[in-house]
Amino acid sequence: MEIQQIKYFLALSQELHFWNTAERMYITQSALSRQIKALEDELGVRLFERNKRSVKLTEAGAFLRDQWLPLLDEINRIHLQARKIHEGAFGTVRIGYPGSITYGFMPDLIASISRTLPELKVELVEPTDISFEQLLLSYQMDMAFRRDPAGNPSLQSICLYSEPFALVVPSNHHLNEQNFTGLHDLENEKFILSNLAQTTFYTSSLRQILEDHSFTPDVRIETDFGGMVLGLVSKGLGVSILPYSYSFSALPNVRFITLPYKMNLYVTWRKNDNSPVLKNILQQVSEAAGKYVADGN
């Protein structure tokens, strides 16, 4: 017994007319008759009473129609779901990201995924003490955005775009893009920065900027969370240096002054991952990043 035979039976049980059913199912009337006869022989059940004038279901046929209709609907639903999984339109993707893209790139990407792959579940993984590389290699994450390329040979990275670092000051601060001449303008300022003793790529970039200017900041508040830094700067509690992406937060009372230093954003994933979901997401990532490349960020 094949699913196609059941489909022929159900179509005939609705039409109760061999010629109309054959036309609907795109087969010849004789082929339809053979399929119904084969099904009856296999089941050992007479499904239709038929003569030259009419076709009607037997009691057993009516019972099978009522049982098979919902089952066929479920099978069709399962097949459709399988096709979506095969095409990468259904499933779950786990994405890690740095806080600096919370306000610009990441919302744009998630909006694009939601629009083009509405049945895909996205799990966003915020930075933790466990490195993104470890999470990727242990299959706890499928993709990660990071500021440096992956070092592990089992991972692959692509640079999406570059953006400048920026000095972040309260909006009523005396410094702006026009009168800012260098970090020496900030000798008497209180700074809000990450712990510069950390070995992350971000803090090493900060140290390089400070060393290039032989500048030692007066750090009064240490935090690794950019959103917190913005909130504190907006309250006039100090100044900071952050990737320019934070300017997309639209937080009031904060001004960004670009610095002649840039930071890259990379997307990283497992080289041997052939998931169709990952393939679709990488396409979305490429399209979302295009906006930021075009904007020169």
**Per-residue pLDDT tens listing for the chain (297 residues):** 788 999 999 999 999 989 999 999 999 999 999 999 999 999 999 999 988 788 999 999 999 999 999 988 888 887 777 776 766 778 889 999 988 899 989 999 999 999 999 988 999 987 666 688 999 999 999 999 999 999 899 999 999 999 999 999 999 999 999 999 999 999 999 999 999 998 888 899 999 999 999 999 999 999 989 999 999 999 999 999 999 999 998 889 999 999 999 999 999 999 999 899 999 999 999 999 988 875 554
Q: What's the rounded Cα separation, in Å, for the pair 200 and 94?
A: 22
Predicted pLDDT of residue 297: 47
> DSSP characters for 15-55?
H--HHHHHHHHTS-HHHHHHHHHHHHHHHT---EEE-SS-E
C-alpha 296, offset from chain centre: 24
Q: At what angle do helices 3-15 and 29-43 cross, to 10 degrees?
A: 110
* Single-letter code of the amino acid located at 83: R
Predicted pLDDT of residue 199: 84
Q: What's the rounded Cα separation, in Å, for the pair 49 and 30?
A: 17
Q: Which of 230, 249, 223, 202 is nearest to 106 (CA)?
A: 249
pTM of the model: 0.73
Q: What number of other Cβ atoms are within 10 A of residue 38's Cβ?
A: 14
* Single-letter code of the amino acid located at 58: T
Predicted pLDDT of residue 10: 92
For 198, the token pair is: 């950390």
How far are the Cα atoms of 43, 48, 53, 65, 69 from residue 61, in angstroms, in the given order? 11, 7, 19, 6, 12
Kind plus residue range of the DSSP H or E element containing 285? helix 276-294
Predicted pLDDT of residue 72: 85
DSSP state of 239: B
Q: What's the rounded Cα separation, in Å, for the pair 1 and 36?
A: 11
Predicted pLDDT of residue 85: 72
How far are the Cα atoms of 171, 230, 280 from residue 235, in angstroms, in the given order? 10, 9, 42
Q: What's the rounded Cα separation, in Å, for the pair 127 and 40?
A: 63
- Cβ contacts of residue 101 below 8 Å, gap of 6+? 145, 245, 265
Q: Which domains does the chain have, with CATH numbers?
A: 3-86 (1.10.10.10), 91-160+265-294 (3.40.190.10), 163-263 (3.40.190.10)
C-alpha 48, offset from chain centre: 52
Predicted pLDDT of residue 250: 82
Predicted pLDDT of residue 231: 95
Kind plus residue range of the DSSP H or E element containing 145? strand 143-146
How far are the Cα atoms of 6, 76, 144, 177 from residue 27, in angstroms, in the given order? 15, 21, 52, 75
